[in-house]
Structure 1
């Protein structure tokens, strides 16, 4: 480091990022000394990572940690170019508990209530309705889940029916989970599910779980090795599409297969050097889908308890005892086995499954079951064509009832890509018990017409009867026009289908439109003409800050009206706050973000590794990923160009259990830039002092100079050093010559523990 920079760097607090094991905990003010030690500037208690902040309050030497090394600390490094302090612990390389997310020590509490309302009406059939309440809560790292339903039938059933569904508590552990309460004995954590009948049980369950696995990516069970040259690059391609590229060192080495998609499939590995191909060969990737980590060959799920009614308003009605379990075993990267047994009262059930890759392009999925004298098997064979432009699938099912009745069914499906724009599909099935046969044949073509993409479809169908109706036979030709980025589509079709024992011709036409912003997200209108007359229908999907949903209506050619409405929203309770909003059903952790803004038209974007969401002044609900610690970054999304604004805080850390709710208040402040010089009690430039305002903080340089964005509604500065507040300065920007949003306050001097004073240029 040049000598003239040393005085400006060493011994002066610097705003730096704190990283531990590759994860950023926040920003702190650090003082680096010329002898290679680092310590924390006091007053940073709000940053995540309390134990490390306490450790850094004393001077710690950079480099390998030799003594006083808490939490497995190995080394400290300060990156001058990036202003970043990095701490490395043994947990960064451990395979044991460090491979899993720890449950949150704080912030794991909360309650999420999801409301789902559906209303349906048709002609004179009366009004039908349904209200679902799904509850997800968090208490001391236990997740509480519950569901109940209130429903009303049509004209023949005016009564409201209440159904009490599952209500249980679940605790996640590394590789396992435990559950207690009322739950369906369905399977969680298994790759293959034996076909056993389900029922509701009041009792206990335990099983395999990958929820807390820190790295969801896992490598191929058989490594892919290459011999590289310095400066060469390896490319992994599947069906001619690049999946991953990796820079190589000299010599034999393994490729990084964690980023490759799951499955068992062939790839082509090419090595290039200076743009020229050095080698090319075929390899296989062995990452069984739905399995998780192949190093864990066994997966299980067991339960025991009292059988309970799954419908009715009573929470529990004892119906005897039930218990059982299911296991999976990864016999080979290409072969997964499954088995299970359930004992319910006097009934017993057994099942077994197999999922195997028979060859490069053929897969077998099959199973057996025994159930109180009934038995049977099923099998499905899937084959992809050699040129990867088609596939066929064959399914067989055979059952024998203890009454002597037998059932045999066969299903066949085929798909073929004829060329770049044409494809054909065929589906046929046969049920030996009823003697019915059904066939569907479809021809598809994608055509460019007047610069727009058009989908054309021609189909023939002959399906067996249902509910005593005649066979469904017909032919249809359809067109779908896509108008590129406008989000608009037009569609039309003509055809003939069997109705009431005779063929009836029909024609349909319609359009749909989608939007990215606004309350209305999509809408569509369609009309159909047939021998009975003209019918029409419409649909719309909408999203509001408080709820989202969709609606549909139609008037058939037979003059019967039909309509439906679906509404969904969620209520989040936690951290002493409550919020109502529209969220996706799959989100299981939330942050309530309260936005205060000096500019009512300004909007924020909250973003993280989960995506982005617009935040408006007021209360917002932000969906988060449970168990995984992370940060939400707050960025201005919309504001007047001439108006300088600042967002505080700029980010917020979170670590939540499933069902947990966090709270964060964010301010959008109108700011002005204040420039000045700090002087010490002897009138000399004061370096390394912290200048603080609601909108931010900075540190004076070696000449005592500072520049800081200050909240326009709170024009005051605080001067701190070593955690001690020296003085405060209140000023009126108008009297200091505000020029293009910049205020020059001149020289500022104050004594330790001096009282607050008004004015500037006081030494």
Structure 2
């Protein structure tokens, strides 16, 4: 009970007793001098009468005093007292002044439908005393409250602020809701019923908060691909450098991407700027402006006719990476009402799927751990071990949920697009590559088992409608459709059926595509049929593998492709083996030209412990056969994998080929180097990825990330062991080394970061710094400077010059303190940078000891530390050799 509540009790209780005293009848034969020793006792029988009558009583069973008048009262008296009027209590002026700031009371929900009369803490209120009335000054809802009131009931509750309590200390809201103040317990109660509750729903969407990086940041990533070759004395080379750069200020960022290429077959260097976009993606809304690519323009429905050339314009909608949708919940919420705390049981076909506990009120069930699909369940509400309600509900969890959940996703976009430089064979004209207006909107949503997306837009003076509905009938059957209609006559329809064969037997698929080209938009349309299947023969016998088959029929080109293969995995004593054998068949019946080509192949891949692989492969095509051998292994260090291969062709053209490669991953770059050759050709190639960031801490280089949209964390570390410390970021570990450590992370996410020792650390460290949380957007850079001290545990023995041990001496430093034992031995952790201790006892007084240490050991034996008398206060010791 708070101090203000104590004061309130001291104020109200005397006033209540004064009110009761005014109704007492005069008791004869009681001497006024007997008030110095008054005692009261309650007879059990009178107590029962008081409870049955449910009235306020002043009960006097015996009155005794030091004056000896106990015999003057023969029996107890029961004097009924009417309920006091709270607003009519006689309150001293000094108490009124104390209540001017108010008194805080807890407000509890009390469900009138609950037989158990459970109380649930819901809010707090402040009462003040003003003009002989108690007024409600404020009502504050608790942030961690487990139940929700309806909006109407909550508004009624808040309307009581500024109102006075009635004569009984209550407030009536109507509609069955009433607040009552209990003076004795110093609590307030809000009486509610089922109609006053709102559903406490499960959150399906969370929005990333404001950026944790307030300053200007820049992240630059690049990828380099280059090769040089010599074939029959003819040399050639080529280099291609692509880059992406993002500059950010909080939640706003500017994307720039492009490439630079050069080769021996062309004159000079060619630079291409692919993207220059300002973007702000925050709180579920995204705006993009500038020179856009496909994603920058929109990401919902298809825009199949979009030119690969530049597009200048804008995009705005609610498809945002700053919004995270929980795809594990049922699209159709299931709500239950509990009159008191209890549990909810969810069963399907008699099988218990989940049991969930809730407090009183209306709640939505958490479907995250329920199986996917659309099916009915039985929902039972159990309170006190009894089923109080039961009903049948439907779970709707699609197997391929929409990116925006059950909401309608939309994007509006537009601008000007550059047409392709190509020839219009229908109109016999050359397309000039000029800019044409391009604008439209895209929508997507999901309902029951149907998910769909659509785009309606105008491109190159042609209206285009595209739609992509998809139906997940059950966990085994899915149908996908795609349709495109253009006002210039462009038409394309595609349908795909995917079927999982029950019992784990495999799967099969069928695809059909039909359409024809239009007059304006340059788009290739194919007419083809495809089908395929994969069967797990292990269901017949464990020693069998799997077989797959695929077929494609191109109706326009009159070409057919058939592929069939059989594969099997073997677990051997010292390795695992993968075996595959198959055939590819090609047929061309275009016009009078007929062509047949069949290729057979087989290969065996062996995987050994220590991440090593060895592969043997063979193939035949016509009269030519090829034998291929390859091997690879994984290493620890900067070069993390190496491999080599050799192949030999037999038949009409006997050719030998060979090659080798090495993958590397260092602190500032990663990539690979490879070499290939044959009798008359040589080739060397290089790939290298890297990047750097520019923030408040300057320029920091690192491996870089493929693609734009990354954020970065820079961890500054002192001199530490190579494998001693790591950064734990959302459960993933990143090794740290001395200096600045650059860690690139995907943007639009929240991260919890903590620096800790690794499991195999050779040294001990004291790390100061709690778990840190950051929200990172593209281009954001946060810098972390944890306080890290390398600790070394030193052991020693404190003695006098004649070898006598000094016991019970204090040995301390800024890290901790210990005492020498009866033999003078001690152990204590010291900071490597400040290896000092202070020793103090009654016999020796106080003196300092400096220890000479190296960083190569985590535990050091000092030997004897000899005290040489009161005149020496500074000592220097070193571990014995």
TM-score with structure 2 setting the length:
0.59
Q: Does the 8 Å contact 1:220/1:286 carry over to 2?
A: yes
Q: Could you say which structure has the greater relative contact order, defined with CA pairs below 8 angstroms and 6 or more residues apart?
A: 1
In structure 2, how many angstroms separate the alpha carbons of the residues matched to 1:318 and 1:406? 24
Q: Which residue matches 1:295?
A: 406
In terms of fraction of residues, the more strand-rich structure is 1
**2:663–2:671 Cα contact (<8 Å) kept:** yes
Structure 1 residues 622 and 640: alpha-carbon distance in aligned structure 2, compared to 1, 3 A threshold: closer
Aligned to 2:675: 553
Matches within 5 A, 1:484-499: 484=609, 486-498=610-622
Deviates more, 1:358-367 or 1:132-141: 358-367
Tell me the residue number matched to 2:209.
102
**CA contact under 8 A between 1:479 and 1:491: conserved in structure 2?**
yes
Query: Match for 2:288 among 171, 179, 194?
Result: 179
1:670 is displaced (CA, Å) by 2.9
Whether 1:306 and 2:416 are equivalent positions in the alignment is yes
Q: Who is 1:14 aligned against? A: none
Judging changes above 3 Å, is the alpha-carbon distance between structure 1 residues 715 and 510 closer, same or farther for their aligned structure 2 residues? closer
Deviation larger for 605-614 or 252-261: 252-261
- Which residue, 607, 622, 625 being the options, matches 1:482? 607
**In 2 relative to 1, CA 95–102 (structure 1 residues): closer, same or farther, beyond 3 Å?**
farther
The alpha carbon displacement at 1:741 in A equals 9.3
Asked if 1 retains the 8 angstrom alpha-carbon contact of 2:440 and 2:458, the reply is yes
Q: Distance in 2 between matches of 1:406 and 1:214?
A: 37
- Superposition CA RMSD, Å: 4.9
Query: 1:178 Cα deviation (Å)?
Result: 0.6
Q: Does 1:415 align with 2:534?
A: yes
Residue of structure 2 in register with 1:74 after alignment: 143
- Segments of 5+ residues of structure 1 without an aligned counterpart are 1-59, 77-92, 272-280, 312-316, 675-690, 698-706, 718-729, 745-757
2:45 alignment counterpart: none
2:270 to 161, 177, 190: 161
Deviation at 1:202, TM superposition (A): 1.8
The answer to whether residue 625 in structure 2 is matched with residue 505 in structure 1 is yes
> Structure 1, residues 227-269: CA drift from partner, whole Å, max 9, x if none?
9xx99998999xx9xxx985555999986332568x6478999
Question: Which 10-residue stretch deviates more, 366-375 or 648-657?
Answer: 648-657
Structure 2 match to 1:133: 243
1:44 corresponding residue in structure 2: none
Secondary structure in 1 matching 2:323: coil
The change in CA–CA distance for 1:626 and 1:759 in structure 2 (over 3 A counts) is farther
SS of residue matched to 2:850: helix
Q: 1:362 to 1:187 in 2, by over 3 A?
A: farther
Matches of 1:669 and 1:309, distance apart in 2: 62
Contact 1:181–1:203 under 8 Å retained in 2: yes
1:593-742 alignment runs, 5 A limit: 593-597=715-719, 599-601=720-722, 603-609=724-730, 611-637=732-758, 641=762, 644-649=764-769, 651-671=771-791, 711-714=831-834, 732-734=848-850
Equivalent residues of 2:753, 2:772 under 8 A apart = yes
CA distance in 2, matches of 1:347, 1:462: 41
Q: Tell me how far apart the structure 2 counterparts of residues 638 and 440 of structure 1 sit (CA, whole Å).
A: 50
Distance 1:666 1:430, change over 3 A: same
2:479 equivalent in structure 1: 364
| Structure 1 residues 491 and 299: CA distance shift in structure 2, 3 A | same
Q: How much does 1:451 deviate?
A: 4.7
Distance in 1 of aligned mates of 2:863 and 2:436? 78
Closer, same or farther in 2 for the Cα pair 1:310/1:254, shift >3 Å? same
Displacement of 1:577 in angstroms is 2.1
Q: Once the 2 structures are TM-superposed, how far is the Cα of residue 120 of structure 1 from its aligned partner?
A: 2.4
Identify which of 510, 521, 524 aligns with 2:640. 521
Partner in structure 2 of residue 41 of structure 1? none
**Residue from 551, 561, 577 that aligns with 1:454:** 577
For residue 473 of structure 1, the aligned residue among 587, 590, 598 is 598
Matched-pair contact (CA < 8 Å) for 2:374–2:449: no
| Structure 2 gap ranges (5+) | 1-103, 107-120, 127-136, 146-199, 381-391, 422-432, 795-811, 818-826, 838-845, 853-858, 866-872, 876-881
Aligned partner of residue 257 in structure 1, secondary structure: coil
**Residues 268-299 of structure 1, C-alpha deviations (whole Å, 9 max, x = no match):** 9999xxxxxxxxx9996523525135331x11
CA distance in 2, matches of 1:325, 1:374: 19
Q: CA deviation at 1:319?
A: 1.9
Q: C-alpha distance in 1, partners of 2:555/2:680?
A: 40
Matched residue of 1:126: which SS? strand
The offset of 1:571, in angstroms, is: 0.6
Distance in 1, matches of 2:506 and 2:750, equals 43
SS for the counterpart of 1:221 is coil
1:323 correspondence with 2:442: no
Taking a change above 3 Å as real, the CA distance of residues 185 and 568 of structure 1, as seen in their structure-2 partners, is closer
* Alignment coverage as a number of residue pairs: 603
Question: Aligned in 2, Cα 1:422/1:201: closer, same or farther, shift over 3 Å?
Answer: same
2:508 corresponds to 1:395:
no
| C-alpha spacing 1:395/1:226, structure 2 compared with 1 (3 Å) | farther
Does the aligned pair in 2 maintain the 1:673–1:742 contact within 8 Å? no
The residue that corresponds to 2:804 in the other structure is none
Q: In structure 2, do the counterparts of structure 1 residues 605 and 735 end up closer, same or farther at CA, with 3 Å as the change threshold?
A: closer
Quote the Cα distance in structure 2 between the aligned partners of 1:469 and 1:595: 70
**Structure 1 residues 696, 120: closer, same or farther in 2, change over 3 A?**
farther
Report the CA distance between 1:739 and its aligned residue: 9.7
Deviation at 1:218, TM superposition (A): 4.0
Distance of aligned partners of 1:66 and 1:638 in 2 relative to their CA distance in 1, 3 Å threshold: same
Q: What is the TM-score with the length of structure 1 in the denominator?
A: 0.68
Residues 131-172 of structure 1 deviation map (CA, whole Å, 9 limit, x = unaligned): 01101221242122110110124x432432111111111111
Aligned to 1:582: 703
Mapping of residues 239-254 of structure 1, within 5 Å: 248=356
Task: After TM superposition, give the deviation of residue 487 of structure 1 in Å.
Answer: 0.7
* Displacement of 1:464: 5.3
Contact 2:347 2:354 in 1 (8 A): yes
Aligned equivalent of 2:491: 375
Q: Quick check: 1:571 aligned with 2:692?
A: yes
Q: Which protein shows a greater Rg?
A: 2
What corresponds to 1:57 in structure 2? none
The 1:223–1:403 alpha-carbon spacing in structure 2 relative to 1, beyond 3 Å, is closer
Matched, 1:342 2:457: yes
